[in-house]
Amino acid sequence: MSIDYQERIPNNVNLAQDKTLQRALEHWQPEFLSWWREMGPDGSTDFDVYLRTAVSVDRDGWAQFGHVKMPDYRWGIFLNPADPNYKINFGEHKGEAAWQEVPGEHRANLRRIIVTQGDTEPASVEQQRHLGLTAPSLYDLRNLFQVNVEEGRHLWAMVYLLHRYFGRDGREEAEALLERRSGDADNPRILGAFNEKTPDWLSFFMFTYFTDRDGKFQLCALAESGFEPLARTTKFMLTEEAHHMFVGEAGVGRIIQRTCQVMNELKTADASRLRAAGVIDLPTIQRYLNFHFSVTIDLFGADQSSNAATFFSSGLKGRFEETKLGDDHVLKGDAYPILILQDGRIVEQQVSALSSLNERLRDDYIRDSVAGVGRWNKIIEKAGIAFRLLAPHKAFNRKIGTFAGVRVSPTGELIDEAGWACRERDWLPSEADRAFVTSLMGRVTAPGKFANWIAPPAVGINRQPVEFEYVRFN
Ligand SMILES: [Fe+2]
Ligand SMILES: [Fe+2]
């Protein structure tokens, strides 16, 4: 499954054999590049960036590292190898051979799933496009750019599916993916969290920890799909996604580490003294965490959804680790607990397992994100500081589902509007918090140097030293 880099569009799908498809994608390619120039990382065109590029889809050694100018990055189409025994593993078609072409009756749903996933990829590049101007180190700048080029490649992955399997309306959707803009009033990105701003590096690390992890869970569910090309595409995307979550977890961890260090040096937990010393106090980090966590769990959709049931029953979108689960994989008549509001209390209720699949994926996601919060707390604990970060309650600050518009504290108490108004500032980043974090941002360009508010990483990239020149400005 090696990748052909002689082609204009690097690929491992024998693109040269399908001239019509190749021509269509070669027509889309310059449109992608002009989107990248317009909406990709600000002012970065001439930088040489130490990037990894996929050379094969093998489990080990798919990446090759070297300095590349980002517009010359070889975006391409990489699918995991086909499995001749691959079956539909869930839903009403369970046990049948997997689809190699789009089944007519599921065409609209499948296209919608692919477009929704595809839309998030360029959206995050747009959200992050100004961050390069304030990178805390060359190491971090390189990581940002690596994430950005890979999100660009994820867009390629979805666009390939649209062009290859959906004909004319697929081509139209592929063009629309380059026309929507994150945060645009008239033509926004499809999902809420992808229209929020990512204005500073604390937000960026929270985003790559929490929101790229939503990507992981969506991709895992699609990697189970009975439409095998989608499963093969998303499996390879997951290998890239792992790095994005690493960037987020390590980034937040290094901010915490630096804050704890200064807390111990100054022997204080006083936020104003810590801010004066140029680090981000832990309660502010908690508020950013609350924001990104709650905005991201909305991405899983309504707690009960007939679409989610249809996507599953028709074999399009599975559950997280579907084939490892011990049930019948059909779920007719099965139940699943969700939270509802009853007589002024939040209580659990058993509902149809099929209609609550969004909630189930959200719960899987929450378990996974909470684990990383525990790892951040270890850093605080090791520094001998009593503070602990906490993932907020599932009903906190929701805009979608049963708890949309219901006021719930981070610890899960129902409160009234007045109670919310007087505590909101303790729970979510205020304008003042954001202004303070913004005030710390400034580009650090000397190799091996780091901004004051973040600790250096323990190791560099690809066994390079931390002080390696990860980005060369020309
Ligand atoms: Fe992605
Ligand atoms: Fe990602």
Residue 441 pLDDT > 80: yes
According to DSSP, the residues that pair with 408 across neighbouring strands are 414
- What is the Å distance from ligand 2's center to 151 Cα? 6
So what's the pLDDT on residue 54? 84
So what's the pLDDT on residue 60? 67
So what's the pLDDT on residue 1? 58
Residue 32 CA to residue 152 CA, distance in Å, equals 9
**Residue 24: exposure state from Cβ atoms within 10 A (0-12, 13-18, ≥19):** buried
So what's the pLDDT on residue 61? 67
Residue 426 CA to residue 397 CA, distance in Å, equals 13
- What is the Å distance from ligand 2's center to 150 Cα? 7
The one-character DSSP state at 210 is: I
Which residue shows structure tokens 């994608």? 25
- What is the Å distance from ligand 1's center to 152 Cα? 8
| Other residues' Cβ atoms within 10 Å of the Cβ of residue 9 | 20
- The CATH architecture assigned to 87-472 reads Orthogonal Bundle (1.10)
- What is the Å distance from ligand 1's center to 224 Cα? 17
Pairing of strands 63-69, 335-342: unpaired
Residue 381 CA to residue 378 CA, distance in Å, equals 5
The one-character DSSP state at 322 is: G
Residue 207 CA to residue 35 CA, distance in Å, equals 22
- What is the Å distance from ligand 1's center to 216 Cα? 8
- What is the Å distance from ligand 2's center to 11 Cα? 20
Average pLDDT over residues 88-104: 97
Percent of the chain past pLDDT 70, that is, above it, reads: 99
Contact 303, 402 (CB under 8 A): yes
Across 249-369, the runs of DSSP E, i.e. the strands, are 335-342, 345-352
pLDDT one-digit tens code per residue, 129-184? 999 999 999 999 999 999 999 999 999 999 999 999 999 999 999 999 999 999 99
pLDDT one-digit tens code per residue, 241-272? 999 999 999 999 999 999 999 999 999 999 99
Of the listed ligands, the closest to the CA of 117 is 1
Instruction: Name every residue whose Cβ is closer than 8 Å to that of residue 265 and which is 6 or more positions away in sequence.
Output: none
Mean pLDDT (the chain) is 96
So what's the pLDDT on residue 15? 93
pLDDT one-digit tens code per residue, 9-57? 999 999 999 999 999 999 999 999 999 999 999 999 999 999 998 887 7
pLDDT one-digit tens code per residue, 404-440? 989 999 999 999 999 999 999 999 999 999 999 999 9
pLDDT band at 322 (very low <50, low <70, confident <90, very high): very high
